[in-house]
Amino acid sequence: MSRFDAIVIGAGINGLAAAATLARAGKSVCVLEQAAAPGGMATLRLDDGPELAPLLWNLSPVVLKAFNIDPATLGLGAPLPAVALDPGGAHIVLRGGWATSLSGETHADGPAFQRLHGQLVTYGALLRRLAEAPPPGGGTLLSQPGLAQLLRLSRLGLDLKRMGKPEMRRFLQVLLSNAYDLILDEMPDGPLAGLLAADAVRGNATGPRSPGSVFTLIYRMGHGGEVRRPEGGMPNLIRRLDEALQKTGCTIRTGTPVARIILEDDRVTGVETKGGEIIEAPRVLSSLGPKSVLGLTGAEAFDIEAARRIRHLRTRGTVAKVNLRLTAPRVPGLPDDLSAARLVYAPSADYVEAAFTPSKYGSLSEAPVIEATCVAAPDGRPWLSANVQYAPADLDGGWDDAACDRLRQITLDTLARALPDLPGAVEELQVIPPTRIAAETGAAGGHWHHAELALDQIFALRPGNGMGRYAMGPRGLYLCGASTHPGGDVMGLAGRNAAAAVLEGWV
């Protein structure tokens, strides 16, 4: 039997970030991971395929600071260009918000796109302020955390003011609206509009016409809107974080699933592993979703209202992973300098909305939105790693082999519309439906963010009223995963914020 100041369940990016933040404050921490290696959803692999999340949008420098890592030494790579695929072959290349054709001429909608992109990035920097701290509510107004919160909110207000009246007005006007209207106010519908619309709803069970999709689009732009591929892929990044964490003296135990969280007199005293081992700690931070945590404590540890909120949390994953093994590390039909680009098949905003519609009724999109990028698996072989949306977790008839075959075919057919030579270069296809992601990682519904990122499930309401400050139910029990503020996206902030909240109330 061993004793720690805190136990962290799950060694995904958020679990690691939470452990690092606590360890940096001098606490003894034990991280328990069910899988054989840390990384969680980001590094989930089937057989010898590539990792589930090959790209980085929003890894937070604040989180890296907790690991005591200089971002410059981490090998995060250069920003990747994006290609908005066009079924007619007139693909559009995006570099730093500037749109050109394959041959380098400026696209007609380029300036409009750049303007909108720039605005979204500005707004994203504003929202990031909120993302980089626990939601308000800790301590009284005059306590140290209370004053820090007040200061943070006043800074946000000042920054908002500093944008100038027209910009501030526009920000507040669009923040809660839908991406479809916002985008099409600025440019005609086409692959550029489609790309933004697709990025607005990525990972969510919403369409670009759903309210709140502007918010999620802005959120995605929180760190400049650039996408990177870390050197050596996500497993390498996680390994670096893991090493940094071990240097702090933190214990990380992989292959150690937790069977239950032990409670005594309404407070946490430790966990019992599936192997029957008891590990003691007065605090447990779980990067699992709240429903899984409830499974580890039993419903009786929670108030009925809390259990109801947990049960009604929307966690319907809509993205399936399809990995296509290629004969060569390049995408047929694209120039070599774009072989590592982020490819987006979303020919128009209308197309994205139409792709969303069947998923509302439990069906696969026949014409899905696809985001793909060519990556090397750890063994060096080239794969096109594709996110296919919408492929709902609650598919009618379930995710059996026939459904997976169907998704495989749909993915190939859809990509072939823009890249006709691609199918000939594909040697093998892997399909990872949301249900599989859920089963492998414990993320409810296989949802990217563990819970829908929507206006009623953000900030102090994430994952639910009364749980927004990471503490839930019995004393010493905390959430630190993507289902808490500010959500997933391999950002690491949820874990870091949770640990910050835990430290605020440390006695």
Partner 1 sequence: MSIFADPKLGLVPGPVHDRLAEQSRAMAWYDWAGYIAPSVLDSVEFEYFALRNQASLFDISPMHKYRVTGPGAVAMLNRMVTRDIRKIAVGRVGYTLWCDEAGHVIDDGTLFRLGEDDWRLCCQEPMLSWLDDAAWGFDATITDESHTVAGFSLQGPTSFAILEAAGLALADLKPFAFATPEDGLLVSRTGFTGDLGYELWCDWDAALPLWDRIWKAGAHRGLRAIGYEAVDIARLEAGFLTAGVDFQPVHATERLHRGRTPFELGFGRMVDLGKGHFNGRRALLAARAAPRSRLLRLDIEGFKPARGALIYDRFNRELGHVTSGVWSPTAKRNIALAHVKMPQAEAHPARLWAEIYTHEEGRWTTRMARATPMKAPAFAPARARATPPARF
Q: How far apart are CB 265 and partner 1 at their closest, in Å?
A: 8
- Closest to partner 1 by CB, 70 vs 303, is 303
- Closest to partner 1 by CB, 315 vs 497, is 315
Beta bridge partners of 32: 9, 253
Tokens 């720690």, located at residue: 4
- Closest to partner 1 by CB, 105 vs 264, is 264
Q: How far apart are CB 315 and partner 1 at their closest, in Å?
A: 16
Spatial distance between the Cα atoms of 183 and 186, rounded to a whole number of angstroms:
5
Three-state SS annotation for 185-234: HHCCCCHHHHHHHHHHHCCCCCCCCCCCHHHHHHHHCCCCCCCECCCCHH
Question: CB within 8 A of 53, min separation 6: which ones?
Answer: 41, 42, 43, 234, 490
- Closest to partner 1 by CB, 300 vs 336, is 300
Give the number of other CB atoms < 10 A from CB of residue 265.
7
Contact 17, 24 (CB under 8 A): no
Q: How far apart are CB 321 and partner 1 at their closest, in Å?
A: 31
Spatial distance between the Cα atoms of 391 and 355, rounded to a whole number of angstroms:
10
Q: How far apart are CB 461 and partner 1 at their closest, in Å?
A: 16
Which token pair is 182? 């916002």
Contact 173, 160 (CB under 8 A): no
Three-state SS annotation for 226-276: CCECCCCHHHHHHHHHHHHHHHCCCEEECCCCEEEEEEECCEEEEEEECCC
- Closest to partner 1 by CB, 302 vs 383, is 302
* R_g (Cα) of the chain, nearest Å: 22
- Closest to partner 1 by CB, 103 vs 140, is 140
Nearest to 350 by CA among 160, 162, 181: 181
Q: How far apart are CB 294 and partner 1 at their closest, in Å?
A: 7
**Contact residues for partner 1, defined by CB under 8 A:** 266, 294, 298-308, 311, 466, 474
Q: How far apart are CB 507 and partner 1 at their closest, in Å?
A: 16
- Closest to partner 1 by CB, 169 vs 475, is 475
- Closest to partner 1 by CB, 295 vs 335, is 295
Spatial distance between the Cα atoms of 23 and 28, rounded to a whole number of angstroms:
6
- Closest to partner 1 by CB, 299 vs 455, is 299
Q: How far apart are CB 394 and partner 1 at their closest, in Å?
A: 19
As a whole number of Å, the end-to-end CA separation of the chain is 23
- Closest to partner 1 by CB, 303 vs 400, is 303
Q: How far apart are CB 463 and partner 1 at their closest, in Å?
A: 16
Q: How far apart are CB 266 and partner 1 at their closest, in Å?
A: 5
- Closest to partner 1 by CB, 99 vs 444, is 444
| CA angle (345 as vertex; 341, 346 as ends), nearest 5 | 130
In this structure, the chain runs to a length of 507
Q: How far apart are CB 442 and partner 1 at their closest, in Å?
A: 18
Q: How far apart are CB 485 and partner 1 at their closest, in Å?
A: 21
Spatial distance between the Cα atoms of 160 and 153, rounded to a whole number of angstroms:
10
| CA angle (229 as vertex; 223, 231 as ends), nearest 5 | 120
